[in-house]
Amino acid sequence: MPANLTPAYKAAEGHYRYAKDPAERLDALKEMLRTIPKHKGTDHLQADIKAKIKELTDELAGPKKGGARTGPETAIRREGAGQIALLGPPNSGKSALHAATTGSHAHVGPYPFTTQYPQPGMMPVHDVAIQLVDLPPIAVEHPVSWISNALHSADGCLLVVDLSMPGCVERVIALHELLAERRIELIDQWPADSGPDDESSSDVDLFTKVLPTLLVASKADRLVESGDELAVLKELAEVTYPCMAISTETGHGLDRLGTWLFDRLGVVRVYTKIPGKDADMGRPYTVRHGATVLEVATLVHKEIATDFKFARLWGTAGFDAQQVGRDHLVEDGDILEIHA
Ligand SMILES: Nc1nc2c(ncn2[C@@H]2O[C@H](COP(=O)(O)OP(=O)(O)OP(=O)(O)O)[C@@H](O)[C@H]2O)c(=O)[nH]1
Ligand SMILES: [Mg+2]
């Protein structure tokens, strides 16, 4: 981290970090470039910001320079209890998995490079849903210029590999190299794995996207000796991610995939009630492990959060209708009655 960064610059960085969409991100980047102290110590950072501005400008301008924007969106707005990207080599079964778990009509083809644009879909888990984003394959023959923008809002990814495919290991190694060039780093730690004080993943630089990764071995119906191929992949591609085998043909592993993601993302469901009425058990709000009562209030309504007085809580800890303050940590299954 270069020295002598001003409060104005730091504020701009904050705007970048919390920008909701590519347009807001671009504004924040320009603000960063305006406010960054111009000296030798910030040369690298200035270059990074300029590169990112160029990338986002191209992305927002669309495929044709100067022309009208054509083609589908490449950045998908985050929805539901978490956003999970589907990454993998060509023809590995990403779209089939997407279709089977979200009910989408993602195009499945017996040949590589079927998918060209991101496609969102919602995978139901318990009484909430996790968003899955189907993506084009990551391969040398077919660079995807907008991939880092598409992954910006993802909470994690499924690295979908077909272990029965010749060259699978080389494909996975190439994929890691391509992602590294775009400063996307896949890691084996998921939010629920780290302790309360473990902030390791937030220490990386602003322009590196760190994605918790689950290795999904697809087409399990075809794998005879999957154990061997998986061991080879782990060794040669130096893969340490948690693994799961699935099949869209037999449905093997599909239910478990949803609950696994729910648990590892640390999803916390909070139900709300109005004083004197029964709780609304139909649609929980979702936050992450470690979230406070105030964060839930913000999801319910901005004004309710601003005027927050106290809340009553029915949950696993404490007693029924316990009065709690804004900083109280919520647990999965809590019922909140917010008083503002
Ligand atoms: N036997 C079997 N075949 C599968 C399974 N899942 C996908 N396939 C087949 O694998 C081929 C590729 O599937 P897709 O889902 O299109 O693969 P993709 O990873 O989205 O491919 P790209 O979009 O080109 O990257 C198709 O012929 C599918 O029918 C599975 O679980 N079992
Ligand atoms: Mg596909």
DSSP 222-249: T-SSHHHHHHHHHHHTT--S-EEE--TT
Predicted pLDDT of residue 67: 47
pLDDT of 66: 46
Sign of torsion over alpha carbons 184, 217, 287, 76 = positive
- CA distances for 327 relative to 238, 294, 305, angstroms: 41, 7, 12
Which letter does DSSP use for residue 200 in this model? G
Q: Is 115 in the pocket of ligand 1 (CB under 6 A)?
A: yes
Segment 52-68, tens digit of pLDDT: 999 889 888 765 544 45
**93 forms bridges with which residues in the sheet?**
none
The reply to whether ligand 1 has any atom less than 6 angstroms from the CB of 101 is no
Give pLDDT tens digits for 37-50.
Answer: 999 999 999 999 99
Asked if residue 224 has pLDDT above 90, the reply is no
Q: How far is the CA of 90 from the centre of ligand 1 (A)?
A: 9
Cβ–Cβ under 8 Å, residues 49 and 43: no
Region at 257 (left for phi over 0; alpha for psi -120 to 50; beta for the rest): alpha
pLDDT of residue 195 exceeding 90: no
pLDDT value at 198 more than 80: no
CB of 284 within 6 A of ligand 1: the answer is no
Domain boundaries, the chain: 7-61, 83-265, 268-339
Q: Does position 11 have pLDDT exceeding 90, yes or no? A: yes
pLDDT score of 197:
54
Which option is the CATH number for 83-265: 3.40.640.10, 3.40.50.300, 3.30.830.10, 3.90.226.10? 3.40.50.300
Sign, CA torsion 295/297/302/307: negative
Does residue 68 or residue 337 have the better pLDDT?
337
Whole-number pLDDT of residue 209: 94
Mutate-to-test residue for ligand 1 from 94, 116, 132, 135, highest number of ligand atoms within 8 A of CB: 94
Residues 139-192: pLDDT tens digits? 999 989 889 989 999 999 999 999 888 899 999 999 999 999 999 999 999 999
Cα torsion 290, 292, 297, 303: sign:
negative
Correct CATH for 268-339 of 3.10.20.30, 3.30.70.260, 3.30.559.30, 3.30.710.10: 3.10.20.30
87, 95, 141, 144, best to mutate for ligand 1 pocket (most atoms within 8 Å of CB): 95
Quick: pLDDT tens for 251-288.
999 999 999 999 999 999 999 999 889 988 988 999 99
